[in-house]
Amino acid sequence: IEHSVLCGSKNFPVKDPFIELAKGSLNTFLNAMTYPDKTLYPVASTNDQDFKNLMHVYMDAVFYPNIYQRKEIFEQEGWHYEIEKESGQLTYNGVVYNEMKGAFSSPESQLNRLNQNSLFPDTTYGVESGGDPDFIPDLSYEEFLEFHRTYYHPSNSYIYLYGAIDFTERLEWLDEEYLSKFDYFEVDSEIEMQNSFEAVKEVTAFYSLGKEENPQDNTYLSKNYVIGNSLDKKLGLTFQILSYVLLDAPGAPVKQALLDAGIGKDILGYYEDELLQPIFSITAKNSEESKKEQFTGVIQDTLTKLVNEGLDEKSLQAAINFYEFRYREADFGRFPKGLMYGLRVMSSWLHDNDQPFLHLKDNAGYAFLKEQIGTGYYETMIQKYLLDNTHATLVTLMPKTGLNAKKEEKLKEKLSAYKAGLSREEIRKMVEETKHLKNYQETPSTKEELERIPMITREDIRKKTQPLYNKELMVDDVKVLHHKVYTNGIAYLRIFFDLRDIPQELLPYTSLLSMVLGYMDTQNYSYLALSNEINIQTGGILANVKSFSRKGSTDKYYPVFELSTKVLYNKLPEAFKLMEEMLYRTVL
């Protein structure tokens, strides 16, 4: 349905409004995403008229899609029988059907699905929201429409607005153009809680391996735990920190213990809190089924030792500062801040109408976590939610050579048998339907349909540009460029070293140097202690090699070595000391 509603609507009947809209838009985000428990249709723009255009097209697509008038949309985006001539081979085809076949062929994607599905066999999280390709062809057009009719109703929608806009005007427009056209009715879409297991469950599955690939050391072992409820704010932040300390930090104890034991060539882990019941997962990649008991034993023994001896307090401080800094900075790269806030809002709002902003208020949570260091709190959480938790699964995903080929052959036989049971008239009808769908797909939207898509004009674009604050100074014979802008108390520092005097053949080694700085011992810190200190004092210190083109030239570049950091103003001295330590006292 996510794909299908964006294939034309009542007021914008063009076949691909998504593409056409982008041609005349200044959008900063335009997409749609399906999650295990929701589908989102977010748009964003810094231009007011453009934002209104995006809202109009997307609201129309969601509430008045052309799927009711054009069955071809369902066939194109979902699935259909395809046969070019009466003597030809019968196959399945469809955009999402083919996409999901690709997704199911990836072992990592398959493992992530197994981890989640195994923990929630009785809820919506126990099925594949994108569609299992083995079952997509079971979906009828009538069932498809009924699903949209039920769940894509304003009564079941969550509408989120953010930014410097006239909220009253936008809300009145939403009501007048769309919401008031529908009567309210109760939709049963509540996400149910999965009952806890009485004992840890084991799941074994297989993924396809190519004939040329070696099945040895190609098994995935994964231990997965359900961690309470996502509406428990303190618990969520606690496991955000524990996940970093146990699995992600340099020298993380659980990861290191598994690597030292030779369980796998890589150890992965994550804490997923987008679900009603969050997941904590530990995975050994490139392992063997025979190491399954050793895998769980090492995890159990390491966690028990940490509970008895206590977690490293510096590691906890570093983890809390790392995430608190990221929370305060709210830098989401190329993604608009309002969009990312909206995603966090949905993580709680979907499950409790009274708590839409729960996951946007983290200050008190981080203060609480700092107070718990050294009190035994974190060790108690490990004992309760990891060591004593039976709502857990052990997933083993093993390679099987040629599995996909066997499944394709089985599908081919199934469709051949189905075709053999059809009359000649039924086969002729399928051929005609295939030709009709191809003709529909190849016929472009009309000029009149294309002109219905709203475009911004030159008059809609502000002539005033964002000011650039760039002041050049000389400090102790060093050129300094200062940008005076609001940064919420965070200083962004970039130091560049000219590499033009480095011989050409040695330049690749500067890139190698950038990769090891901060990841090796120094004269005053071990690698682990340095990492902790960097995360305690700053928002991170990074080394990199870059090149800048010379002004006015297309073939001359300046190579530079960059050391950068982001840090609270009052911790600038500590940041400079750590950068100096990395540059002058790294033990190479």
Interval 138-167: pLDDT, tens? 999 999 999 999 999 999 999 999 999 999
Could you count the other beta carbons within 10 Å of the beta carbon of residue 245? 21
Q: In terms of domains, do 273 and 180 share one?
A: no
380 within domain boundaries? yes
Whether 434 and 527 map to the same domain: the answer is no
How far apart are the C-alpha atoms of 66 and 58, rounded to whole Å?
13
The percent of residues above 70 in pLDDT, for the chain, comes to 100
Q: In this model, does residue 8 exceed pLDDT 90?
A: yes
Q: Could you tell me the two tokens for 399?
A: 């390679």
Q: Is 429 helix (H, G, I), strand (E, B) or coil?
A: helix
Does the structure show a pLDDT above 90 at 488? no
pLDDT of residue 468: 85
- For the chain, what is the mean pLDDT? 95
Given 77, 272, 324, 533, which residue is catalytic? 77
Helices and strands, number each (H, E), in the chain? 20, 16
pTM of the model: 0.90
Whether residue 253 is found in the same domain as residue 145: no
pLDDT category, 26, cuts 50, 70, 90?
Answer: very high
Check pLDDT > 90 for residue 182: yes
Q: How sure is the predictor about 496, in pLDDT bands with cuts at 50, 70 and 90? A: very high
580 is catalytic: no
Among the listed ranges 57-66, 130-139, 208-217, 266-275, which one has the minimum average pLDDT value?
208-217
Q: How far is the C-alpha of 518 from the C-alpha of 586, rounded, in Å? A: 8
Q: Which two tokens stand for residue 72?
A: 């071809």
In a domain, 295, yes or no: yes
The pLDDT, as a whole number, for residue 300 is: 98
In a domain, 96, yes or no: no
Tell whether 578 and 436 lie within a shared domain: no
Residues 497 and 534 in one domain: yes
CA angle 475, 494, 571 (to 5 degrees): 85
* Residue 455 placed within a domain: no
pLDDT value of residue 194: 97
Q: Would you say residue 249 lies in a domain? A: yes
What is the tally of structural domains in the chain?
3
Q: Which of 341, 367, 400 is the last residue of a domain?
A: 400
Q: Has residue 316 been placed in a domain? A: yes
Residue 457 domain flag: no
Of 161, 110, 108, nearest to 133 by C-alpha is 110
- Could you tell me the pLDDT band of residue 286, with boundaries at 50, 70 and 90? very high
Residue 88 lies in a domain: no
pLDDT > 90? residue 419: yes
Scanning the structure block, which residue is given the tokens 């909206």?
A: 342
Same domain, 145 and 12: yes
Distance, CA of 62 to CA of 271 (rounded, Å) = 32
pLDDT at 420: 96
Kindly tell me the sign of the dihedral angle through the C-alpha atoms of 390, 391, 392, 393: positive
pLDDT confidence of residue 486: 87
Confidence of residue 104 (pLDDT cuts 50, 70, 90): confident
pLDDT at 552: 84
Strands laid side by side in the 490-498 sheet: 490-498, 557-568, 541-549
pLDDT at 88: 95
pLDDT at residue 543 tops 90: yes
Nearest alpha-carbon partner for 386 in 246, 286, 233: 246
* pLDDT recorded at residue 465: 83
Could you tell me what percent of the chain has a pLDDT over 90?
90
Pick the closest to residue 163 from 54, 59, 34, 61 (CA basis): 54
Residue range of the domain that includes 495: 471-585
Cα 348 to Cα 192: distance, rounded to the nearest angstrom: 14
pLDDT, residue 250, reads 86
**Pseudo-torsion of CA 346, 348, 353, 358, nearest 10°?**
-110
207 with 169, same domain: the answer is no
Asked about 77 being catalytic, the answer comes back as yes
> For residue range 214-243, what is the model confidence (pLDDT) as tens digits?
999 999 999 999 999 999 999 999 999 999
**Range with the poorest average pLDDT among 135-144, 316-325, 543-552:** 543-552
pLDDT score for 66: 97
Q: With contact defined as beta carbons under 8 Å apart, do 246 and 254 qualify?
A: yes
pLDDT at 51 > cutoff 90: yes
Pair 427, 575 in one domain: no
Determine the pLDDT at residue 550.
86
Looking at the fold, whether 307 and 444 belong to one and the same domain comes out as no
* Residues 155 and 210 reside in one and the same domain: no
CA 245 vs. chain centroid, Å, equals 21
Please tell me the distance from the alpha carbon of residue 332 to that of residue 355, in angstroms, as a whole number: 23
At 357-390, the pLDDT tens digits run 999 999 999 999 999 999 999 999 999 999 999 9
Q: Could you tell me the CATH number of the domain that includes residue 321?
A: 3.30.830.10
Same-domain check for residues 205 and 185: no
* Least confident residue range of 5-14, 313-322, 463-472: 463-472
Q: Both 301 and 434 in a single domain? A: no
Q: Are 53 and 18 in contact (CB under 8 A)?
A: no
